[in-house]
Amino acid sequence: MDRRQFLSLSAMACLGVTRNTSAITGPNTRDVCDFDFAFITDVHIERGKLAASKFSRTIAEINSLKPAFVWDMGDMSLYPNSGKAYLDCIKQLQMPFHACPGNHDIALNDKNPRRLFNDCFGPAYYSFDFGGVHFITLDGNTVVNRQGKNTIDACLDPRQIAWLKADLEATPQQTPIICGVHIPIVSTYIKRRGGGTFPEDFPIAPQFNKSRAEALIDILSLHNVKLVLQGHAHENERVTVKGIEFVSSISVCGCWWQSGEGFERGVDNVPRGYRIIEVKGGHISHRYVSSCESKVDRRGEFMGFDNPIVPSKSTAIIFNCYDAPNESTAKVRIDSGPWTPMQQYTGKGGYIKMQMPHHFILRSDITELTRGKHRLTANVTWPDGTIVTEATSFTVTK
């Protein structure tokens, strides 16, 4: 696509933002309006026609929900040469759109690595207001040269840190703040992959290292930051640190559209989708939404019970509670037997096989179960008191 096309689409996106951005109405949360918005991330449109067609269907679904705006947390990806396909898709949105650059939207070897992003959407970090809430988009991608190769380091450069501090200072104390960033500031991702530090152990997955993350959390926690929305990991994870909830959210593309036209899941086996953030009565809440061909009406599922089970003394009963925060607890029962606590299952594995904090496991001796149909029920309690109950039938063969 040429620069003119980019600029005209960029102007369109900006018009939407200007038209719908309202100033903060006052310093008290009672002045915060009721509205919701859609948070999407990791579209990875570079995966060809299939990606564009499935993303278009998700856009139609979001249009039908009528959120106030859509905020994309990056990895759209504008490179290589896929920007036009992405912009063609978001033209179909019937509401304003905001974008945050992901590591895949940065041209590592360009003199200006953000040229396409800037042409399409303007600055890579910025803030805006809507309905009495202050929103801050951060650019956590810094291009560094390591062993002769350009790569991304997850951090905010000193200029952006200074801007962030000034922006937070200028926000009235009582105004709720929501931040967005592509590479998670807080996630147990690295720990679950066996520990270690970036970049030595994880060259393909830039993450904020501990000291940079802590420094950033210290800055955010001095202000009324309620929520930090994060992309990059293609998984759901919810962790609260110093009163701020850091939410990594499932990718729109699941596992990079690998299932073709079929049902698509993220690295945590959660059906592909997005998140709706609701601001109501001065409170902020959010929910994960599965999308289109991967839509489900359940809130979690047992893994590995689709086929008949040969009982063992240590059968793994695993329940994936799609959006359970890290501090949740779970229990399970077989038929009308006793409830037994499950452990959080964070076992290591390959890149895609890695398990998630919202997976729970019980190793159980089920050799006494009779041949035929049985029922498993999971009950997960979230820290906010939300209870998720899901059940499935399975067949025992001997």
Which is nearer to Zn ion, 235 or 245 (by Cβ)? Answer: 235
Which is nearer to Zn ion, 10 or 103 (by Cβ)? Answer: 103
Which is nearer to Zn ion, 117 or 302 (by Cβ)? Answer: 117
Which is nearer to Zn ion, 102 or 325 (by Cβ)? Answer: 102
Position among 46, 72, 75, 237 found at the interface with Zn ion (CB under 5 A): 75
Is residue 341 classed as helix, strand or coil in its secondary structure? Answer: strand
For Zn ion (CB under 5 A), the number of binding residues is 5
Measured CA to CA, the distance from residue 398 to residue 308 in angstroms comes to 10
Q: Is 134 in the site for Zn ion (CB under 5 A)?
A: no
Segment near Zn ion (CB under 5 A); pick from 69-77, 139-147, 210-218, 324-332: 69-77
Which is nearer to Zn ion, 103 or 364 (by Cβ)? Answer: 103
Residue nearest to Zn ion (CB): 75
Q: Is 232 in the site for Zn ion (CB under 5 A)?
A: yes
Measured CA to CA, the distance from residue 276 to residue 27 in angstroms comes to 25
Q: Looking at residue 193, what DSSP letter applies?
A: T
Segment near Zn ion (CB under 5 A); pick from 162-170, 228-236, 351-359, 379-387: 228-236
Closest separation in Å from C-beta 298 to Zn ion? 25
Cβ(288)–Cβ(322) under 8 Å? yes
Segment near Zn ion (CB under 5 A); pick from 74-82, 128-136, 218-226, 334-342: 74-82
Closest separation in Å from C-beta 254 to Zn ion? 11
Which is nearer to Zn ion, 102 or 300 (by Cβ)? Answer: 102
Which is nearer to Zn ion, 171 or 236 (by Cβ)? Answer: 236
Closest separation in Å from C-beta 183 to Zn ion? 6
Which is nearer to Zn ion, 102 or 254 (by Cβ)? Answer: 102
Closest separation in Å from C-beta 62 to Zn ion? 19
Q: In which element (H, E) is residue 189 found?
A: helix 189-192
Is residue 359 classed as helix, strand or coil in its secondary structure? Answer: strand
Measured CA to CA, the distance from residue 274 to residue 321 in angstroms comes to 16
Q: Which amino acid is at 356?
A: M
Torsion sign across C-alpha atoms 158, 21, 52, 38: positive
**At a CB cut-off of 8 Å and minimum separation 6, what does 280 contact?**
34
Which residues within the stretch 264-303 sit at the binding site for Zn ion (CB under 5 A)?
Answer: none
Is residue 325 classed as helix, strand or coil in its secondary structure? Answer: coil
Measured CA to CA, the distance from residue 222 to residue 276 in angstroms comes to 26
Q: Is 366 exposed, middle or buried (0-12, 13-18, 19+ CB in 10 A)?
A: middle
Segment near Zn ion (CB under 5 A); pick from 145-153, 225-233, 312-320, 334-342: 225-233
Q: In which element (H, E) is residue 54 found?
A: helix 48-65
Segment near Zn ion (CB under 5 A); pick from 59-67, 224-232, 301-309, 360-368: 224-232
Q: What is the DSSP string of 75-102?
A: ----TTTTHHHHHHHHTT-SS-EEE---
Which is nearer to Zn ion, 36 or 46 (by Cβ)? Answer: 46
Closest separation in Å from C-beta 323 to Zn ion? 19
Closest separation in Å from C-beta 31 to Zn ion? 36
Closest separation in Å from C-beta 309 to Zn ion? 35
Q: What is the DSSP string of 104-164?
A: GGS-TTSSSTTHHHHHHHS-SSEEEEETTEEEEE---EEEEEETTEEEEEE---HHHHHHH
Closest separation in Å from C-beta 162 to Zn ion? 25
Closest separation in Å from C-beta 111 to Zn ion? 22
Which residues within the stretch 84-103 sit at the binding site for Zn ion (CB under 5 A)?
Answer: 102-103
Is residue 313 classed as helix, strand or coil in its secondary structure? Answer: coil
Which residues within the stretch 27-56 sit at the binding site for Zn ion (CB under 5 A)?
Answer: 42
Closest separation in Å from C-beta 42 to Zn ion? 4
Ramachandran assignment for 56, one of left (phi > 0), alpha (psi -120 to 50 degrees), beta (any other): alpha
Q: Is 235 in the site for Zn ion (CB under 5 A)?
A: no
- Residues contributing to the site for Zn ion (CB under 5 A): 42, 75, 102-103, 232
